[in-house]
Amino acid sequence: MMFVPLTPALLDQDYAAVMRDITMLRAWSGQDWPTADFPIESNLADLVRHDREQRDGIALTYSVLLHGVVQGCIYVRPALEALRTRGLEGAGSLQLVAADVVVRGWLHDRSPADLIAASMSWLGAAPFTFPRLWWQASSACPDQLAACDELGLTDALRFDGPGGTWELRSPPPPS
């Protein structure tokens, strides 16, 4: 598994991955995205936006490659901004440190535990210096929540909002 910045250069591969399992992505995102007729031009606009966010230091977005082919994506945002993108403004302001980072993602052809473990390990090492990583999953993706349990991501924050209940999962801090 390899992570590379998501840029417009990956348009065709990313579009194929997005359109491969619309039902899964709708459950994962808590939205009606993508639609069955989602145009590649809209996907290009998304990739341009993610590339700009990455260059401007707002958020990080990486394609997940298996055997050199885009099979998924991870999104990395400051914790409070990540909650805002799910319609949960203010929900975690008392429970999260401003420097905390939230990761969410999806992947074809591998278990959620593989994606979560690889993402958390990669983002927890140099050159990254995030104080605390949280994995974000929706109640509509019980396989991701079960993978978090399996991996020891047992600190949990739950938020009810648009698209269902969202959970942030992290390993307990060292004592």
Paired strand residues for 173: none
In the chain, where does DSSP find H-type helix? 11-20, 22-29, 40-55, 79-85, 112-123, 142-150
pLDDT tens profile 6-33: 999 999 999 999 999 999 999 898 888 9
Query: Stretch 96-121: mean pLDDT, rounded?
Result: 93
Average pLDDT, the chain: 91
Query: Stretch 130-141: mean pLDDT, rounded?
Result: 92
pTM, full prediction: 0.92
Q: Which residue has the tokens 């491969």?
A: 20
Give the pLDDT of residue 90.
60
User: Do the Cβ atoms of 113 and 144 come closer than 8 Å?
Assistant: no
User: Do the Cβ atoms of 76 and 123 come closer than 8 Å?
Assistant: yes
Domain architecture of the chain: domains with CATH: 2-170 (3.40.630.30)
